[in-house]
Amino acid sequence: MLDPALLRQNPADLADRLRSSRGFELDVSGLASLEADRKRIQVRTQELQSLRNSRSKAIGQAKAKGEDVSAIMAEVAAFADELKASEVALDELREKIEAIAQGIPNVPADDVPLGKDESENVEQHRWGTPRSFDFPVLDHVELGARHQRLDAEAGAKLSGSRFTVLRGPIARLHRALAQFMLDLHTGEHGFDETNVPVLVNPESLRGTGQLPKFEDDLFKTAVGESPRYLIPTSEVSLTNIVRDEIVDAENLPQRMTAHSLCFRAEAGSGGRDVRGMIRQHQFEKVELVTVCAPADSEAEHQRMTRAAEVVLEKLGLPYRKVLLCTGDMGFSAIKTYDLEVWLPSQDTYREISSCSNCGDFQARRMQARWRNPETGKPELLHTLNGSGVAVGRAMIAVMENYQNADGSITVPDVLKPYMGGVDTIA
């Protein structure tokens, strides 16, 4: 959530910035009208509260002197209804303003390129050379079809479309990738392995910005009257660990990683990537989350992105790094780098990791703070998140880039210890 001061002090300037960078239209006149009503009713509410307090004190003093208090009590009763109505109206106005604020996206950093969509993202660099094949390239669906090792039909029977059953060595490859990533991030990159719930309360999703704007993309369940949501990413659980906390400076930065199931309804995705495992309702990711002091967030963003890059480099998978333009960034981010891995069957790069700096946007929603040793006062943290990386897409990339003419798949060297020494998935 943006600083409320931006909405109150110069909403027209904020509206211009959001329009040019995000294509977001802020209703300045409507917001100004609500804010004017809030100020007016708040002033009157405070007057009535002050009057109530002073007259209540007078009642106590009169009673202590044995005087008749009926006149004063009648006076209090006369404005009690107005005070109650004023307090209710003030709460309603605050809720309306809060609802508007909750739906406003973050303002991009100054060095983020302006653009309307992914076509205007800016490539930063490439690593690796896509392999040349001297035989017809198969996609991951065809490679996994043998012995039904990648079985969409079974997934559909169990749960519906966009679910897949993995079997045998393909299932083990998937597990091996997750274990390799966790070991790398904890052993070499300094992230703390964390196991978090995949069912969270609404407050957690509001904290990281999925609610209320993206509720249609969430799976929701409930026990009795208590709603719970399946996480779209473990960013939600990891980041909300510091919700309503004040973290001491010596405990920063906090770097966390988790391997978890993730669930997305893919609302609005239409017919994109319906073949295979590119876009599933249920998938797994190794997530990276950092919370830090504001002065450190840019360096932590570079550090996190580099940690995701190392995963792909150790797997020997060609990729490119792109800086997202303003029109392609996520709701909560001020700056995002995407890593796109090479898929031979599509003859193109596809997203496998997205690393975002959210500034204090999520922290303000969560009231996640740190104690600045220079001032001694609590201040908002900065939060960052990234995929380190998506396990299913990494498996697809390994299958396609390491395929052989006979349909077998060579196991990358770094995964062999996790595959029991197996060299090839035959």
> Could you give the residue numbers annotated as active site?
264, 279, 351, 354, 393
Q: Is 287 annotated as a binding residue?
A: yes
Q: Let me know: does 246 contact 370? Beta carbons within 8 Å.
A: yes
Q: Is 387 annotated as a binding residue?
A: yes
Say which residue the tokens 């959001």 belong to: 18
Q: Is 379 annotated as a binding residue?
A: no
- Rg of the chain over Cα atoms, rounded to whole angstroms, equals 27
| DSSP reduced 3-state for 180 | helix
Q: Is 353 annotated as a binding residue?
A: yes
Nearest to 379 by CA among 282, 315, 292: 292
| DSSP reduced 3-state for 52 | helix
Q: Is 234 annotated as a binding residue?
A: yes
Q: Is 87 annotated as a binding residue?
A: no
Can you state the angle between helices 297-315 and 168-187, rounded to 10 degrees? 140
Q: Which two tokens stand for residue 219?
A: 């799976």
Q: Is 396 annotated as a binding residue?
A: no
Nearest to 228 by CA among 204, 194, 244: 204
Give whole-number Cα distances, 98 to 103, 151, 206, 257, 392, in Å: 9, 46, 12, 32, 38
Q: Is 215 annotated as a binding residue?
A: no
| DSSP reduced 3-state for 387 | strand
Q: Which two tokens stand for residue 238?
A: 């990891």
Q: Is 241 annotated as a binding residue?
A: no
Give whole-number Cα distances, 88 to 51, 94, 95, 102, 410, in Å: 18, 10, 11, 21, 67
DSSP letter (8 states) at residue 403: B
Q: Is 33 annotated as a binding residue?
A: no
| DSSP reduced 3-state for 101 | helix
Q: Is 235 annotated as a binding residue?
A: yes
Say which residue the tokens 């309702």 belong to: 281
CB atoms within 10 A of CB 206: 19
Q: Where are the alpha helices (DSSP H) in 209-360?
A: 235-239, 297-315
Annotated binding site: 233-235, 264-266, 287, 351-354, 387
Annotated binding site for L-serine: 233-235, 287, 387
Annotated binding site for ATP: 264-266, 351-354
